Amino acid sequence: MPAGTGGSAGGPRRPPLDLSIYLVTDTGQCGALGVPETVRRAVAAGVTLVQLRDPDCSDAEFVALGRSVRDALAGSGVPLIVNDRVHLVAAIGAQGAHVGQGDLPVRRARELLGATALLGLSVNSTAELAAAADVDPDRTVIDYLGLGIYRPTATKPDHAPAAGPAHIADLAAGSPWPTCAIGGVKASDATPLRAAGVDGLAVVSAICGRPDIEAATRELVAAWAAAGGLGRPAALDVRKESP
Q: What is the mean pLDDT of each run of 10 residues along the chain (243 residues)?
A: 35 88 98 98 98 98 98 98 98 98 96 98 97 96 96 65 86 97 96 96 98 98 87 36 38
Distance CA 111, CA 107 (A): 6
Beta strands 201-203 and 21-24, pairing class = parallel
Q: Write the DSSP symbol of residue 239.
A: P
Instruction: State the sign of the Cα–Cα–Cα–Cα dihedral 43, 47, 52, 54.
Output: negative
Which pLDDT value is given to residue 181?
Answer: 97
CA distances from 130 to 125, 171, 227 (A): 9, 10, 29
Sequence-distant (6+) residues with CB within 8 A of 75 are none
Which pLDDT value is given to residue 154?
Answer: 64
The number of beta carbons lying within 10 Å of the beta carbon of residue 183 is 26
C-beta of residue 111 within 8 angstroms of C-beta of residue 99: no
Q: Write the DSSP symbol of residue 3.
A: B
Which pLDDT value is given to residue 9?
Answer: 35
Q: Write the DSSP symbol of residue 99.
A: E
C-beta of residue 156 within 8 angstroms of C-beta of residue 202: no
Which pLDDT value is given to residue 242?
Answer: 37
Which pLDDT value is given to residue 64?
Answer: 98
Classify the phi-psi angles of 234: left when phi > 0, otherwise alpha if psi is within -120 to 50, otherwise beta.
beta
Which pLDDT value is given to residue 124?
Answer: 95
Distance CA 237, CA 8 (A): 11
- Phi, psi (deg, nearest 5) at residue 143: -105, -30
Q: Which amino acid appears at position 116 of this protein? A: T
Which pLDDT value is given to residue 4?
Answer: 34
Distance CA 24, CA 98 (A): 11
Which pLDDT value is given to residue 159?
Answer: 53
Which pLDDT value is given to residue 91?
Answer: 98
Nearest to 46 by CA among 151, 196, 190: 190
H or E element at residue 80: strand 80-83
Nearest to 47 by CA among 229, 201, 154: 201
